[in-house]
Structure 1
Amino acid sequence: MVPGPRGLPLLGSLPDFGKDPLGFLTRLRDHGSLVTWRFGGKLCVFLSEPDCVGELLIGAEEHFDRAELGVAFRTLLGNGVVVAEGADWRRKRSLVQPSVRPKQVKAYASTMVAEAVRAADGWADGRSIELRREMSALTQRVAVRTIFGTGKDADVDAIGRAMSVAQQEIGAEMSGLGALLPSWMPTPGRARVRKAVAVIDREVARVVAEHRNEGSGRPDLLSRLLVAQDETGARLTDEEIRDETVTLYIGGHETTASALVWAWTLLSANPDVHASLTRELDRVLGDREPGFEDYEKLTYTQAVVKETLRLYPTIWVISGVAREGATVGGRRLPAGTRVWSSPWATHRDPRWFRDPEEFRPERWAPPEGTEAEEIPEYAWFPFGGGPRVCLGARFAMVEAVLVLAVLARRFRVDVHPSQLRPAPKLTLQPDREVWATVRGRKG
């Protein structure tokens, strides 16, 4: 292994990581494939080679424990499928997975398109919009309708505001001194998270009670979770229902909203890519709105989303804790070593991607007659991988592609020039408001 930065006594490299997490992880990558460093007093190893990343992801259940991501993170997600381990994780995954299988995602596609059309109907040629607000509102409505089966704006607003507060505090704790504080120590940030989560819990409990009173048969995710049974016939408890709905909400809203904002920003800066996108939309859709059956046909639109997630992966860091006997790259890791990988750093590595800083969807959808770029497995992992791959990956991809298709078929979005920087919070977001002018393509 290659020794990385020495850091400071007690703190290790935490100050450098906290100041610029993405830059710090990129510098670690440039040290070598397996780099040692210290997060506070904890020994860490950073992985950047796809083969090593694959070992971490594939061995997630057998050789690595879940890393503790802070009190704020645990307060929001509880012990949902993202956090659970061992037999508890396997049980919860078996209960949640049927709700996001392709057949179910197909059923949700009409809601995705309907909400995108609703957003498009509110746009007009020459109108100035704030993209983060627009995309967040759109994906919030999709998440609330598909998960909770309600479209009330009050529900969307209450949950959305609370989620924004929680996400802000999770990002601050993950990369700051809060990561080293004991879980019992009160801080203002942890107090804000608890207050926000209380709002979320109250809303979820109210909707769960409504579903129980109305009985089964509704087409939303929550209704499916309420009747799901494990191999013993047991169902999820109310607390487990709460944890899984919050987890699904984050996966179906936060990640997709961020990806769409970055997609519009990249398309605005790359007019040739935008032209290729609209040519495909005109050819496949003509003057109609997309449906689920169009998803597989929109190969270039998919490529735009995949390339956006390469440059701006919403999940920017993945980590685990080595168990006794764990190895990576043929090297044994001391038990308790925290192992890190970063989609941000690996996705932008010139060893795996030609011209890695360029926005080139053709990597994923090469023009006819041209050779495809060879991309190693686990060089691209915005949804993780292995047994703990994100359950909502297909939901997120279908939503991003269909929403982009609805809006880009009607409008060009010109993002106003600004020095946007990615802010690594719970998900990777722009560090400021993103203003744009929409231009109508068709009457």
Structure 2
Amino acid sequence: MTTDTPVTTTVPAPAPVRGPRGLPLIGSIPAFARDPLGFFERLRDHGDLVRWRLGPQRSVFVSRPEHIGELLTGVETVFRHPELGWAFKLVLGDGVVTSEGPAWRRKRALVQPAVRPRQVRSYAETMTESAAALAESLRPGQRVDVRREMLALTQRIAVRTLFGADTAGREEVIGAAMDTAQRAIGDEFRGLTLFLPPWVPTPGRRKLKAAVEVIDAEVGRVTEQRRRSGEDRDDLLSRLLAARDAEDLPLTDKEIRDEAVTLYIGGHETTGTTLTWAWYLLSRSPEARARLTEELTRVLGGRDPGYDDLKALTWTDQVVKETLRLFPPVWLMTAIAKEGSTLGGRPVPEGTVVWASQWSAQRDPRWFPDPDSFRPERWDADAAHPVLDHAWFPFGGGARACLGARFATVEAVLVLATLAQRFHFAVDPGDIPPRTGLTLQPGRPVRATLRPA
């Protein structure tokens, strides 16, 4: 697991080496856009600290866990949060992910109680019930699009845990608008629209604006309905409505909207994609699947899992961890150096964009023997090669670590345990390459035949 405490750098940073020269003015934009994952693996091969340019931006790429730890724990102090694209900002507003400084600290303190372990426990039943309902609708021998099923499932869980029953009959409307928003963010990140001014119209931006109008209307409707009722329910919206800051001030309706959308995206797309990759990997590893079946039979004996089973579902948890290592939904992070910033004791010029890639670091053979192989046993308590701090960081780390990490992990384990007791997803043969966007998604449909477990 990653830690949130500063890491002592035991390996001094070498002088930054020069990476790819790139092209005049645009630097390495074409290479980055064409194959981001391969690009960062090639940067890693240059050295531990690599200088390069993305357009006009002066950049440094880091690949050692010690330096990644400094970056993760230094955001908000040594480094600042980067500017995000127009689509990202339009969708997430001024939520905890996009805010900085005092505004970020206030919002994090208000939102964090909603996703603490005690609260996540209360959402576990919804996660399991939703997965069991999906299982009841499936039949052995049925052909399924795995990603579509997993995203639909995590969408239902996200809507129910956020808004309870207030969105009954409206889940598809909210989900379709959210899907449009997430695609627009991913398209912006991959393409040159990231550098287009906000006033430049594109077809994608027009669709996004329409989707955001739907999101705003739906969240506003549910929030107003809940305020009028005064009812305190066991969902995330009630926690957000009840939150008070140090001055006993609540979140405004706009702030509730921004945090609800942030939590929705964090709890839907990332977990659904993780589960899709998990079925793909298990389908190609009979040994791992057999060990999963043995654990589920021993621990659950045919009943559905609950929150109290998590400690005993160690292999299931390791399957999720190893999936997050090989296919991290969030595959890239950046921060911008402030005045006086350093990495490994070496100064980093103010304004430099510092990059770290979960994809690259988590497949680095220095930290993970046989890095491209699916080996959940590498997470055994007595593993021969313990995972170094900050060599695995799918949820980031430090003060800006993902608030929904516990929610996402619990959801993935409970859904996997619920479905794997009933079915084996026999994914069609052939490798499935990843595609970069807002999350690391399968590059083609993941189709499978359901077999009895």
The residue number in structure 2 matching 1:100 is 115
The residue number in structure 2 matching 1:365 is 380
The residue number in structure 2 matching 1:187 is 202
- TM-score, structure 2 as length reference: 0.95
The residue number in structure 2 matching 1:421 is 433
Q: In structure 2, give the amino acid aligned to 1:291.
A: G
The residue number in structure 2 matching 1:386 is 398
SS in 1 for 2:31: helix
- Give the distance between the partners of 2:380 and 2:266, measured in 1 at CA: 26
Give matches, 1:313-328, under 5 Å.
Answer: 313-328=328-343
Contact 1:71 1:190 in 2 (8 A): no
Contact 1:63 1:322 in 2 (8 A): yes
Contact 1:14 1:176 in 2 (8 A): no
The residue number in structure 1 matching 2:313 is 298
- Give the distance between the partners of 1:202 and 1:134, measured in 2 at CA: 27
SS in 2 for 1:90: helix
Contact 1:281 1:405 in 2 (8 A): yes
TM-superposed deviation, 1:281: 0.5
The residue number in structure 1 matching 2:410 is 398
**Identity across matched positions, percent:** 57
Q: In structure 2, give the amino acid aligned to 1:408.
A: A
Sort the Cα spacing of 1:312 and 1:191 in 2 relative to 1 into closer, same or farther, 3 A.
Answer: same
Contact 1:72 1:170 in 2 (8 A): yes
Q: In structure 1, give the amino acid aligned to 2:357.
A: S
Contact 1:95 1:228 in 2 (8 A): yes
Residue of 124, 138, 145 corresponding to 1:123: 138
Deviations 1:2-59 (A, max 9, x none): 1111111111101110111111111111111111111111101111111111111100
Deviations 1:224-265 (A, max 9, x none): 101210010111111110100000001111110000000000
TM-superposed deviation, 1:185: 2.5
TM-superposed deviation, 1:153: 5.8
- How many residues are matched? 438
2:220 maps to 1:208:
no
- Give the distance between the partners of 1:349 and 1:235, measured in 2 at CA: 45
Q: Which moved more, 1:300-309 or 1:193-202?
A: 193-202
- Give the distance between the partners of 2:210 and 2:258, measured in 1 at CA: 16
Q: In structure 2, give the amino acid aligned to 1:406.
A: T
2:446 maps to 1:411:
no
Deviations 1:275-319 (A, max 9, x none): 001100001001211110001110000000000000000001010
2:78 maps to 1:66:
no
Sort the Cα spacing of 1:261 and 1:54 in 2 relative to 1 into closer, same or farther, 3 A.
Answer: same
Q: Which consecutive residues of structure 2, in runs of 5 or more, have no partner in the other structure?
A: 1-15
The residue number in structure 2 matching 1:270 is 285
Q: Which moved more, 1:68-77 or 1:340-349?
A: 68-77
- Give the distance between the partners of 2:177 and 2:39, measured in 1 at CA: 30
- Give the distance between the partners of 2:300 and 2:292, measured in 1 at CA: 12
Deviations 1:349-398 (A, max 9, x none): 001000000000001125xxx64422210000000000111000000000
- Give the distance between the partners of 2:183 and 2:304, measured in 1 at CA: 35
- Give the distance between the partners of 2:167 and 2:133, measured in 1 at CA: 14
2:227 maps to 1:225:
no
Q: Which consecutive residues of structure 1, in runs of 5 or more, have no partner in the other structure?
A: none
SS in 2 for 1:274: helix
- Give the distance between the partners of 2:365 and 2:432, measured in 1 at CA: 23
- Give the distance between the partners of 2:370 and 2:166, measured in 1 at CA: 43
Sort the Cα spacing of 1:155 and 1:83 in 2 relative to 1 into closer, same or farther, 3 A.
Answer: same
- Give the distance between the partners of 1:197 and 1:117, measured in 2 at CA: 31
Deviations 1:382-422 (A, max 9, x none): 00000111000000000000000000011111001244221
Aligned residues: CA RMSD: 1.2
Contact 2:283 2:426 in 1 (8 A): yes
Q: In structure 2, give the amino acid aligned to 1:62.
A: T
The residue number in structure 2 matching 1:437 is 449
Q: In structure 2, give the amino acid aligned to 1:123.
A: L
2:123 maps to 1:132:
no
SS in 1 for 2:165: coil
- Give the distance between the partners of 2:372 and 2:303, measured in 1 at CA: 35
Residue of 315, 320, 341 corresponding to 2:356: 341
TM-superposed deviation, 1:186: 2.5
The residue number in structure 1 matching 2:58 is 43
Deviations 1:148-203 (A, max 9, x none): 11275642211221222222221221122112222333322222221211111111
The residue number in structure 2 matching 1:150 is 165
- Give the distance between the partners of 1:202 and 1:423, measured in 2 at CA: 32
Which 4+ residue blocks in structure 1 deviate beyond 3 angstroms? 151-154
The residue number in structure 1 matching 2:326 is 311
SS in 2 for 1:149: helix
- Give the distance between the partners of 1:211 and 1:426, measured in 2 at CA: 31
- Give the distance between the partners of 2:42 and 2:120, measured in 1 at CA: 39
TM-superposed deviation, 1:147: 0.6
Give matches, 1:351-362, under 5 Å.
Answer: 351-362=366-377
The residue number in structure 1 matching 2:302 is 287
- TM-score, structure 1 as length reference: 0.97
- Give the distance between the partners of 2:137 and 2:212, measured in 1 at CA: 31
Q: Which moved more, 1:259-268 or 1:131-140?
A: 131-140
The residue number in structure 1 matching 2:44 is 29
- Give the distance between the partners of 2:407 and 2:420, measured in 1 at CA: 20
Q: In structure 2, give the amino acid aligned to 1:417.
A: P
- Give the distance between the partners of 1:152 and 1:188, measured in 2 at CA: 29
Deviations 1:417-440 (A, max 9, x none): 244221111111112221101111
SS in 1 for 2:134: helix
Contact 1:216 1:227 in 2 (8 A): no
- Give the distance between the partners of 2:297 and 2:174, measured in 1 at CA: 36
SS in 2 for 1:150: helix
